A and B are shown apart, each in its own frame.
Chain A
Amino acid sequence: MDEVIQFSSELYERLLSVVHLRLPKKSFGYLVSDIGKDVATDFLIFEDNVRNDGRWREEFESRGRYFVKYHDAGFVATPEETWRIQKEMWSRGLLEIAVFHTHRRHPANFSKIDYDLHLSRFASLPHVIISLRNSSQPQLRAFSVASDGVKELKVIVNGRFATALPAPADNSLDWNREVLALDATGRPRCRDSQLVLQSISELLSSARQDAIEDVLANGFLREVEHRHAEYIEPNMVRLNSARFLMGTRAARARHFCAEVPQHSVELSPFSICRFPVTNQLLALLDERRLELPAAACSAPAVNVTWFDAVLFALWVGSRLPTEAEWEYACGAGSDAEWCCEDECTLPEYAWFSENAGSEVLPVGMRQPNAFGIFDMHGNAWEWCHDAYDQDYYRYSPIKDPVRDAFTGSGTARFNGHDHRCCRGGSVHALAEMCRTRYRLHEPPTFLVTDLGFRLARGPITPLHFQGTEKGGIDDQLDRASVARQLAAG
């Protein structure tokens, strides 16, 4: 089985550009090569789609309301074009090295319909999916597909990342003061969450207690406990320490990527918010959220990057849940696919493609799970803290697992390349994507209309807020708080 798919940066950009220009039309075709079976040198796109003809339409619509509602969901090539393109490949000496298709509303994930229709045709051809749900940030993923499951392949774009690392930050105290300055309303002046977090991390790494106290404890985060007590704590659910089985048994994994092996996890007590963060809540940090239509106030705050989510969590004395915490809180101890008994009852608990439109809906309008937590399935995908690794379950620790990709300090901790995990599905998601154990990942700079987050609090201090010598941000701020009290005394 091929482990990588390689593109030249020119071909990669041309493919993304072409499928973008064809929107709203669905694109599908072959990646082809004239030099080897894992290096794409061109692509061939089909023009005609008979997905809405006769029996094909019936077959698609039998797979759920999403395929009834969206006639552009799904594709079937015509026999005539299939043969024409096959002859073109032969005449040009091209080898088909992967099938590709675009998603207009879904992430670049591999669903059951893709699995069934691909596997019934091909034995080992990889499948590439390009998500255009945020068309200005297209996401391309490649998958190997076999009867024993689906695995995500590494996509190598030659030359693309060679110069993409961010420039080192100026970590002088003046720079930190400037980045972490507040405006007259007490909100950060700097709108770049990544930069703000980088500055905080730099400051903590410096271990300069006076600067940490001055700029952070008495400055940027001076109201943090007040904000937490007033706005967050009332909606937190406290979960006791627990042991549960994370992931999916191999026999049931089918096309679901990265959910194996199922493994035992022990969690320390933690708290998690009953609801996703709403626009109204996020306005504590970003007043532009108040300019949204009134109906959006109580809906999940979406169009947030992972950096935006992490910064807001810090701003209100919280953090993002780890994947393990999220999965445990979502399933509420159930070993079923969802927190409820089966797919038939899922609409009582979730807004997803079977019962929702195209926009996220006010939180808390479906049934809560057994822990009293709302909207974990559907409505909006939720960022988790962890950096994504499809093999993480093979080596993750039993106790409080969390995958922090960050090493070094400052800039190195806040690169935009390591993807972060997202969970739960959204209003567009098929039931399978809303599963408790379903894993998705996106780059931390990605934002889209159905991706938000919720808050957690517990014993884990994310690595990027750990000082190099003197403990994590909680320790640092605790010390600053003690120092302040001593001074006041």
Chain B
Amino acid sequence: MINLIVPASLVNLLPDEPSNSVRRSVPLSSGPWTDVAAEIRERLPVLAERVLTDSNHIARGFVLVVNDKIVAGDQIRVNLCDGDNISVIAQLAGG
């Protein structure tokens, strides 16, 4: 299994009750990114709608981090192994 760590600012996009914790950890199956993205879309549809593109890339304005390394959102070719930690976080932007 891998851990998807969701920051507090996006926790409200998870299907469970909102919480006051600084982050939430969601276990997902290991495997290629396309499979992980498909599982996120199925289990966490509101989060997926915001952070994933139709082609399962990371949406503009979000950052994918795998084991403390930033992965470019449109070049995801990672294979995620058991024990890996991934996180999707929002890149602040405004006018």
Contacts and interface: CB of A to CB of B under 8 A. Distances in A.
Interface in A39-84: 46, 51, 56, 60, 63, 67, 73-80, 82-83
Contacts of B7: 86, 89-90, 96
Nearest to B92: A77
Contacts of A63: 95
B92 A75 contact: yes
B9 interface: yes
Interface stretch (B32-40, B62-70, B76-84): B62-70
A79 B70 contact: yes
B interface residue count range (under 10 / 10 to 19 / 20 to 34 / 35 or more): 20 to 34
Given A79-B70, A95-B8, A86 B93 contact: no
B43 interface: no
B94 A75 contact: yes
Given A83-B70, A90-B23, A121-B50, A77 B91 contact: yes
Contact of A74 (B87, B91, B94): B94
A117 interface: yes
A29 B92 contact: yes
Contacts of B90: 82, 121-122
B20 A121 contact: no
A136 B69 CA distance: 42
Contact of A117 (B9, B21, B62, B94): B94
B9 A122 contact: yes
Contacts of A124: 12
Contacts, number: 93
Contacts of B61: 117, 120-121
A74 B94 CA distance: 6
A114 interface: yes
Contacts of B12: 123-124
A93 interface: yes
Interface in A92-121: 93-96, 99, 101, 111, 113-114, 117-118, 120-121
B2 interface: no
11 contacts: A74-B94, A75-B93, A78-B91, A82-B63, A95-B20, A101-B94, A117-B93, A118-B94, A120-B50, A120-B61, A123-B46
Given A63-B95, A121-B62, A123-B12, 6 more contacts: A67-B95, A73-B95, A82-B63, A82-B89, A95-B21, A114-B94
